[in-house]
Copies of this chain bind each other. A is one copy, B any other.
C-alpha cells in the first residue's frame, strides 16, 4: 500500500522543535517553561498560529487545553486525538512531552501537503500543566477533561506565589470555553520520550507502552528520643535513625523479592540533625510502583508489617501513612497493535514496556482506546537540561506516529 510509505519532513519537524527550544531556554540547552507563564503563552501563540496555517479548526477549553481539528471523511464520527504537553519542569529538557505535540503537528502537515483525507477527523491536543511543577498535582488539563479533577479543584490550585490556576489562565489570555473540551474521541495517541534507559539498554527504537504503573507514596515517621551523643550509654538510647537505617535496608530487601517492583527512598529528614545529638525523629518517603495494583497493595501491607516489627524491636514508634495512591492503567491492545504494525512496516525495532511516570494518556485512557509511543532518552536522563533524544530517533518516531494514525483513522 502506498500510504504506509508516507514519511514526515525531517527538516521541517526539527526546525519546528528548534523554535520551541528557543522559548524559555536555559544556558545548558534545557527549558524552563512552566505552565501558564509568559513563556508558555509565547509558545502557545506560535503553536496556535501553526495550527491555523494548517487550516485546522482551533479551540481552547476552560482549562486552557488547545485543540486543532482536521476534518475527516466521516466528519461527525469521533476523532483520533494526538498530542501531549508543551510545558516543562523548571530545569527541564527540550523534548519530553513537547515531541508529542510537535510530531502530531508534523503528521498533519504531512497529510495536508500530500492531500490525504482520513476517514475519521484528527485532533491535535496540547494539555495544560502536565508537569505539575507550577501547579500540583500534575496532569491537571488532561485530568480535568477526563473527569479526574473538578473544575473547582483545578481553578483553586495555587503556585508558590499563591497565584491560582484560574488567575494564571486569565493572565495569559487562554481562558476558553468548557464546551470546547475534548470529548467523544475514538483513540488517543501520545508520543513521548521514555525518561528511562530501558529502550537504550535493550537497543530498541520504538517503545510500545503497555500501560502506566500504579504508584503509592508512603510517609514513614520514626520517633525516638533526642539526647546528647557523649554521655548517653548505647544501651539507654532511643535513636530514631539507627532503626531507620534497618528499615531502608528492609525496603530494598522486600523489593528484591518481588518481580517488577520498584521502590525508592528519595526523601529522608533527620531531626534535629546535629552531629553530636542522638536523632529523636526521622521522616522518610517510600515511592512504590508496580504495574499490578494487587501486588502494590500486598507490598505496602508487607512494608507496614516489617517496618513495624523493626520499630518494636528497637524501642521506637513508627507511623506509616499513605500520602498518594494512583492505580495502574492498561493501554488499548488495538492501539499497541497499530503502533507495532506501523513500526514493523518501517523496519524499526520495538519493545513493549510499562511507563513508570504518569502521562496525559493515563487520564485520557478513561475516555477512549489509548496508547503511547516512547522514544529513547540517552542515559535515561529526564527532567534535566541534559535530557536528549537523537534527531534520527525523533524523525523515525514521527514516522511511526504518522503511520499509526493513518491506520487508526481509517474506517475498518
Tell yes or no: A316 within 8 A of B by CB. no
Q: How far is the CA of A201 from the CA of B232 in the complex (A)?
A: 11
Residues on B with beta carbons closer than 8 Å to the beta carbon of A227:
380-384
Tell yes or no: A147 within 8 A of B by CB. no
Binary contact readout A255-293 vs B (1 if CB under 8 angstroms, 0 otherwise): 110000110111111101111111110000101010000
Tell yes or no: A370 within 8 A of B by CB. no
User: A133-B274, A226-B91 are contacts. A231–B266 as well, Cβ < 8 Å?
Assistant: no
Binary contact readout A178-205 vs B (1 if CB under 8 angstroms, 0 otherwise): 0000000000000000111110010000
Complex: chain B residue closest to A261, CB-CB = B234
Q: List residues of A (221-267) whose CB comes within 8 Å of B's CBs.
A: 225-234, 236, 239, 241-242, 244-249, 252, 255-256, 261-262, 264-267
Nearest-neighbour CB distance to chain B for A215, whole angstroms, equals 8
Residues on B with beta carbons closer than 8 Å to the beta carbon of A244:
245
CB of B197 within 8 A of CB of A236, answer: yes
Tell yes or no: A358 within 8 A of B by CB. yes
Tell yes or no: A136 within 8 A of B by CB. yes
Tell yes or no: A217 within 8 A of B by CB. yes
Nearest-neighbour CB distance to chain B for A183, whole angstroms, equals 28
Interface size bucket, A side? 35 or more
Tell yes or no: A90 within 8 A of B by CB. yes
Nearest-neighbour CB distance to chain B for A321, whole angstroms, equals 13
- Which of A213, A230, A247, A279 neighbours the largest number of chain B CB atoms within 10 Å of its CB? A230
Q: How far is the CA of A217 from the CA of B232 in the complex (A)?
A: 17
Tell yes or no: A29 within 8 A of B by CB. no
Tell yes or no: A176 within 8 A of B by CB. no
Tell yes or no: A138 within 8 A of B by CB. yes
Nearest-neighbour CB distance to chain B for A260, whole angstroms, equals 10
Residues of A near any B CB (own CB < 8 A): 89-91, 132-133, 136, 138, 194-198, 201, 213, 215, 217, 225-234, 236, 239, 241-242, 244-249, 252, 255-256, 261-262, 264-270, 272-280, 285, 287, 289, 355-358, 380-384
- The contact sample of 6 A-B pairs, CB cut-off 8 A, is A215-B230, A227-B382, A228-B383, A241-B265, A266-B270, A266-B278
Kindly list 18 other residue pairs between chains A and B, CB separation below 8 angstroms, not including A194-B231, A241-B266, A267-B270: A132-B276, A195-B228, A198-B231, A228-B357, A228-B380, A228-B383, A231-B355, A231-B380, A232-B262, A233-B262, A236-B380, A241-B248, A241-B265, A242-B252, A249-B249, A266-B275, A269-B273, A280-B384
